[in-house]
Amino acid sequence: MSHKSDLIATDIEAYLESHENKSLLRFITCGSVDDGKSTLIGRLLYDSKMIFEDQLDALERDSRKQGTQGDRIDFALLVDGLAAEREQGITIDVAYRFFSTDKRKFIVADTPGHEQYTRNMATGASTAHVAILLIDARRGILTQTRRHAYICYALGIRRMVLAINKMDLVAYDPSVFEGIERDFLDFAAELGGDLEIEAIPMSALEGDNITEPSERTPWYHGPTLMDYLETVPVDDGLLSSAFRMPVQWVNRPNLDFRGFSGQIASGTVRPGDRVRTLPSGRETTIGRIVTQTGDLDEAVAGQSVTLTFTDEVDTSRGDVICAAQAPAEVADQFQARILWMAEDAMLPGRRYLLKLGARTVTGQVSNLKYGIDINTLEDRPAKTLGLNEIGVCTLGLDQPIAFDPYDDNRLTGGFILVDRLTHNTVGLGLLDFALRRSGNIHWQALDVDRATLARQKHQKPAVLWFTGLSGSGKSTIANALQKKLFAMDKHTFVLDGDNVRHGLNRDLGFTDADRVENIRRVANVSKLMSDAGLITLVSFISPFRSERRMARNMMSEGEFVEIYVDTPLNVAEARDVKGLYKRARAGEIKNFTGLDSPYEAPETPEIRINTVDCSAEDAADQIIAWMDERGMLEG
């Protein structure tokens, strides 16, 4: 006798096989909190007599508990189960649910409506063909409604169902439905003229206009939700687009085989096709298309394959294999749209990890052009982006990448930003276009290089980066150190925070964003001075570890020396040589480090100076001794 689990597995296999040749529609349910997403999904799953792949054991168990038969379970039980999932925190991720009807297969991205989970909604929308935007008929269009609609449109969704739900709670009043539809169409007109909208009055709880027309809305003559989902065209354009395959893995089990594995992002590929690997630009020909079940004569978008080349072409993980006659672009400077998804604000100038496909590079938002008012869709001035805010920015990377504009190809034009410290995803972005200068600006080779300049000065270049609270003694120590190095015939220069703000950084204030930009500029100047062979003494509060790490990463190995002038706040405030603490305490200075703006102390500085126990002269001697021990003062 077969075990119950074997029978269930057989049922699933037979079920999936019966639906194998049906078209697949991916859609997302979105909208504000309590607009009825769980109830709607429960109704769709219940009325379609679905088999819930990942809960079949539970389905069978619950159906027995409720005394029901077959694969249908009690609707209230199913909705309660979905609600329980949300209470248990499952909404922190996107829940994908599968169901099928006689005409089509469906994958629905079940995403939360809470504002703090907008990132999850965006994740679900990134692969959807259709968005079902729920609106509570009693509340009408809310800010979160507009935000979700904008995100769906920005992510390439051009078909939306305006699901005006809970019509039973407004007595199925057609004027309520028509008013909400009219308001949304006015808003949608600002999104773009290519957006197709189908407005449907419904009650997910009562089942009105979900799978069957409702007798309680005789004034509505459009399709039911299921009619729409079963008949809406599914065409994401990927098959007809040019061939793209990001390389996820270089497969070399032996010396006789070298293949490049990945999922085809768009287009079609055949043996004998001419391709180009980017960013290197080398061209070759496809030899074989290898899969676990044998070689293929053709592979299309969505398939995972291993490609071999007829020539030895250096290709690595993260490269993109493209059709030679229609390759992707390569650049390192872009205009991009960003949805910020972290509690801490996005700070232009701060460096983040950017992940596009299998490629990970370091980049920074060098200029935030403007933010987008989600209610009016108007541009507004902005220096930073907060949680769930959207802006248009200039993005710079430390190396070129292959890409397509997002509007041409979702898979090769969409990226995420990751915090380098926490490794949390903090932003979702769409590449609009490469900046022209990124392809026109190249490094100019110079005959007199940095090593030659350093030998001329009989020294090794270094960046001595002094960090600490205001009044800790950074500038005093740097001044004393420069005098001692000058007496040793060393070529030095001091970049002092106050002095630089009189010129290079005179346009910057003291907000977190301005502080990041302040250090970004100073780090670049320090790099140029290091290239000139100088010993550069940088005296800045530089309160954030991320920016100090950015400065360190710009320098050659061993050239960056972090010197933490470790002075307790009460000692620095007692000195208050410039009277700044007194003014800050009086409310005359905002964003003052150590009081109402944070200072992130170095965790492992090369040198730590305690100015409570030693003078500036002693501190300078300590630094010189440290440098001498490491051969940094030798010619």
Chain center to CA of 64: 45
Q: Identify which of 514, 523, 513 has the alpha carbon closest to the alpha carbon of residue 347.
A: 513
Q: At what angle do helices 474-487 and 616-629 cross, to 10 degrees?
A: 60
The structure tokens listed for 548 are 């100090």
Strand spans (E) along 137-205: 159-165, 196-201
Residues 6+ apart with CB under 8 A from 542: 465, 467, 519, 548, 551
Cβ contact 279:438 at 8 Å: no
Phi, psi dihedral angles at 151 (to 5 degrees):
-65, -45
Cβ neighbour number for residue 603 with a 10 Å cutoff: 8
438 catalytic? Reply is no
Residues 426, 429, 435: CA angle, nearest 5 degrees: 130
Residues 6+ apart with CB under 8 A from 39: 79, 165, 204, 205
For the chain, what's the residue count? 635
Q: At what angle do helices 545-554 and 512-531 cross, to 10 degrees?
A: 20
Catalytic residue, chosen from 48, 241, 542, 597, is 542
Cβ contact 204:78 at 8 Å: no
Strand spans (E) along 202-272: 244-246, 249-254, 257-263, 268-269
Q: Identify which of 363, 414, 24, 436 has the alpha carbon closest to the alpha carbon of residue 246.
A: 414
Rounded Cα distance between 630 and 133, Å, is 64
The structure tokens listed for 288 are 């074989």
Q: Give 243's DSSP letter.
A: P
Residue pointed to by tokens 């009016």: 376
Catalytic residues: 542
